[in-house]
Amino acid sequence: MAINRQPVMKRSRSLGIEASFTGSAKKSKKKPPMTRRRAPSEYGLQMKEKQKAKFCYGVLEKQFRGYFAKASKIRGGILGENLLMLLEMRLDNVVYRMGLARTRLEARQLVSHKLITVNGKKVNIASYHTKPGDIIEVNPARKDSVRFQDILAATSGRRVENWLDVDTNNLKGSILATPSRDQIDTPVNETFIVELYSK
Q: d(Cα 15, Cα 55) in Å, to the nearest integer?
A: 9
What global pTM score does this model have?
A: 0.84
Looking at residue 157, its pLDDT comes to 87
Query: Tens of pLDDT along 36-86?
Result: 567 889 999 999 999 999 999 999 999 999 999 999 999 989 999 999 999
Instruction: Give me the percent of the chain exceeding a pLDDT of 90.
Output: 75
Q: d(Cα 24, Cα 9) in Å, to the nearest integer?
A: 9
Q: d(Cα 110, Cα 108) in Å, to the nearest integer?
A: 5
Distance from chain centroid for Cα 61: 15
Domain 90-177, architecture per CATH: Roll (3.10)
The residue ranking higher by pLDDT, 40 or 127, is 127
